[in-house]
């Protein structure tokens, strides 16, 4: 879970993770009950996530 005292999310929040690498932060946000959608983008070819490009919680 992502924990930051300065981060305030509203119900239904959409998170954009630019430079996601393998998606660990994206996965943490996806498990947050306030977040509805997480978009992750990694522009480099050497950081690879799971096959198919999807993380599931």
CB–CB of 57/31 below 8 Å? Answer: yes
pLDDT at 55 over 70: no
The closest alpha carbon to 28, from 46, 41, 15, 42, belongs to: 15
What whole-number distance in Å separates Cα of residue 48 and Cα of residue 34? Answer: 27
pLDDT at 1 over 60: no
Give the pLDDT confidence of 32-52 residue by residue, as tens digits.
999 999 998 888 776 665 555
Q: What is the pTM of this model?
A: 0.69
């Amino acid at each position: 879970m992502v924990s930051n005292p300065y981060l305030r999310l509203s119900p239904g929040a959409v998170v954009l993770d630019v430079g996601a690498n393998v998606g660990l932060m994206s996965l943490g946000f996806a498990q947050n009950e306030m977040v509805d959608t997480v978009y992750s983008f990694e522009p480099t070819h050497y950081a690879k996530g799971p096959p198919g490009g999807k993380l599931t919680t």
